[in-house]
A and B are shown apart, each in its own frame.
Chain A
Amino acid sequence: MKSGKLITFVFLLSTAIVLFGGFIHSPLSQTERGVVFNETEIVN
């Protein structure tokens, strides 16, 4: 049972690495989007 869970974990982890590239080992990589929109002059 335990080894089954371990295999599942390793499988998911490797899938995550494939999908996210090296991202998961570089915490605080960029999630924030840059400022691109040509609007919202005054909102305050």
Chain B
Amino acid sequence: MNQNIIRSSDIAHLLNTWYSAIRKNHLPEAKKVKSKIEQMIVDMEEDQSLLIYHSLLEFRHKLLLGQYENAKTVLSEVQPFKEDMTDLLMYYFNFFSGIYARSVKDYETALSYYKKAEEFVSNISDEMELAEFHYEVGSMYYQMKQNLISIRHAKTALMIYQDKDDYLKNRAYCKLLLALNYVDMQNFPEARNYFDQAEQDSLKITDLRFQYAIHYNLGLFFSEQSEIEEAIHHFLVALKFCHFNKRFQVKTLFTIVREKHKIAAVDTEEWFVKGRRLATEINDKEYLVKLDLIHHLFGRANIGEVEVVFEKGLAYFEEQKLWVDLEEYLVWIGDYYFNLQHYEKSTHYYRKAIEIKRKIIGEVI
């Protein structure tokens, strides 16, 4: 017998440590454990389930890093072994696939994976995993503007995280998620309450991304209450905290342009150019479309040009299945034509918006 063979139980323990670091978003620790496992796994005794678990965690690790293309490759390598998966592995497979689909904004597919993962959730004995599951599902419903369902999941996750010192950041994200849902529901006192709690937590969190998240989200909070100057202030602060991520920068520049349009600020064009330049540089099609739409909806443009931009933008949302965006821009375009007294056109867009709204509700139910 080869003396160097490593027991699978030793690797299993390390895999759990790795996943725990991923869940806590402790990237340096996750990377350290990952490289230790990579050195050891080549000498591990044969254990098919553990190798699948390892691949699934590899997939999850890449998602944490935002390496979606690489993650997809790992997922396709695991796919042929679905038949050999235990119920617990099936849960991870479906849950992580849902996270992947949600990350690339394919919410319909994400929802179907999460529903599948839920079938195996009874196999989960680790309550931190349950909290993770509820947080993810809650976040996804928030993306789909299904606020009541999102709140239910976020509160369940928060309850589990509540007294776990190690999970302060997860807890704070739960509070942000709740606050955002209440913003959607226009329940501003409740939103403020959760923002205050998250801000308290943020004093103990030295993480740029969290600082970015809190300010960006506060920007939305003030924007919804038409406190535009305050909203712009928070978006500008958020912009300073997201220099590490150009996608976040584009997202923030877009909201700045939007707010500037609301008050017809003299430097709106300047911000629009900045946003468009960066979106072009990183080929962020979603924000290119949104910037153009907002610019034509609320800026000065001739009607012929406007129609081309509207149709192009709406086609993009439809193609990408970005239903929430599609619904809202349809309403705005309806408003645009309504204000011009082009009633037939406005009716056409309102009608389409209603259809999309029904589709979103139908999918969730």
Are B25 and A39 in contact, CB atoms less than 8 angstroms apart? yes
Contact B64 A34 (CB under 8 A): no
CB pair A28 B27 closer than 8 Å: no
Chain B, residue nearest A13 (CB): B350
Q: Report if A35 contacts B (CB, 8 A).
A: yes
Assess whether A40 is interfacial by the CB under 8 Å rule. yes
From residue 192 to 214 of chain B, which have CB atoms closer than 8 A to chain A? Answer: 209, 212-213
In the complex, which residues 263-303 of chain B have their Cβ closer than 8 Å to any Cβ of chain A?
282, 294, 297-298
A29 interface contact, C-beta 8 A = yes
Residues 337 to 363 of chain B near chain A (Cβ within 8 Å): 343-344, 347, 350-351, 353-354, 357
In the complex, the answer to whether A43 meets B245 with C-beta atoms within 8 Å is yes
The answer to whether A28 and B261 have CB atoms under 8 Å apart is: yes
| In the assembled complex, B18 has its CB within 8 A of some CB on chain A | no
Residues of B within 8 A of A25 (CB): 335
- The answer, among A15, A36, A42, for a CB contact under 8 Å with B139, is A36
Residues on B facing A (Cβ under 8 Å): 25, 27, 63-66, 103, 135, 139, 142-143, 169-170, 173, 176-177, 180, 183-184, 209, 212-213, 216-217, 220, 223-224, 244-248, 251, 254-255, 258, 261-262, 282, 294, 297-298, 324-325, 328-329, 331-332, 334-335, 343-344, 347, 350-351, 353-354, 357
Annotate A3-42 by CB proximity to B: 1 below 8 A, 0 otherwise. 0010011001101100110011101111111111111111
B70 shortest CB reach to chain A, Å: 12
User: A30 contacts B332, CB within 8 Å?
Assistant: no
Quick check: A37 and B184 within 8 Å, CB to CB?
A: no
Q: CB-CB < 8 A to B254: which residues of A?
A: 32
Rounded to whole angstroms, the CA-CA distance of A16 and B348 in the bound complex is 12
A–B Cβ pairs within 8 angstroms, 25 of them = A5-B344, A9-B347, A12-B354, A23-B331, A24-B331, A25-B335, A27-B335, A28-B332, A31-B324, A34-B142, A34-B176, A34-B180, A35-B212, A35-B248, A36-B176, A36-B213, A37-B103, A38-B25, A38-B170, A38-B173, A39-B65, A40-B247, A42-B65, A42-B244, A44-B244
Is A30 a contact of B64 with CB atoms below 8 Å? no
Residue in A closest to B243 when the chains form the complex, CB atoms: A44
Which A residue sits closest to B223, measured CB to CB?
Answer: A30
Residue in B closest to A32 when the chains form the complex, CB atoms: B255
Task: Please give, as numbers and ranges, the residues of chain B lying within 8 Å of A13 by CB-CB distance.
Answer: 347, 350
CA distance A40 to B331 in the complex (A): 31
Q: Which of B63, B223, B298, B351 contacts A39 (CB 8 A)?
A: B63
* Docked-complex contact B224 and A30, CB < 8 angstroms: yes
A40 to B246, CA, bound (A): 11
Q: Judging by beta carbons under 8 Å apart, are A30 and B335 in contact? A: no
CA distance in complex: A2, B65 (Å): 58
A43: nearest residue on chain B (CB-CB)?
A: B66
Contact B350 A12 (CB under 8 A): yes
Instruction: Among A12, A32, A36, A39, point to the contact of B103 (Cβ < 8 A).
Output: A39
Chain A residue contacts of B216, Cβ below 8 A: 34-35
**4 A-B pairs with least C-beta separation:** A40-B66, A31-B328, A35-B213, A34-B180
Contacts A34-B176, A36-B142, A42-B66 given; does A28 touch B262 at CB 8 Å:
yes
B322 to chain A: closest residue by CB = A31
For B224, give the chain A residue with the smallest CB separation. A30
The reply to whether A32 and B173 form a contact with Cβ atoms under 8 Å apart is: no
Assess the A42–B325 pair: CB atoms within 8 A.
no
Known A28-B258, A36-B139, A40-B66: A15·B354 in contact at CB below 8 Å: yes
Distance in angstroms from A11 CB to nearest chain B CB is: 9
Q: Which chain A residue lies CB-closest to B329?
A: A31
Interface centre among A15, A27, A36 (most CB of B within 10 A): A36
Closest to B357 in A: A19
Supply 7 further A-B pairs (C-beta < 8 A) apart from A36-B139, A36-B177, A38-B170. A24-B331, A25-B335, A30-B183, A32-B254, A35-B216, A38-B173, A40-B247
